[in-house]
Amino acid sequence: MADIVSGKTGEFSVHVDGRVVWNKFETGRFPEHEEIHSRLDALA
């Protein structure tokens, strides 16, 4: 199960099965589609 979690302070993170796939706070930017796809492939 995947969730996109957005907060009030511009937070943005993508979680899959309780694991963080992307965190805007850590990277300082939104992900490109390819980055999300490659990180999802790495989980498989």
| pLDDT tens-digit map of 2-22 | 666 666 777 788 888 888 999
Write the CB contacts of 36 (distance below 8 Å, at least 6 apart in sequence). 14, 21, 22
Distance CA 41, CA 16 (A): 12
Whether residue 23 contacts residue 36, with contact meaning beta carbons closer than 8 Å, is answered with: no
Angle at 17 between CA 11 and CA 32, to 5 degrees: 50
The answer, yes or no, to whether residue 25 has pLDDT greater than 90, is no
Please give the average per-residue pLDDT across 14-33, as a whole number.
90
Whether residue 36 contacts residue 22, with contact meaning beta carbons closer than 8 Å, is answered with: yes
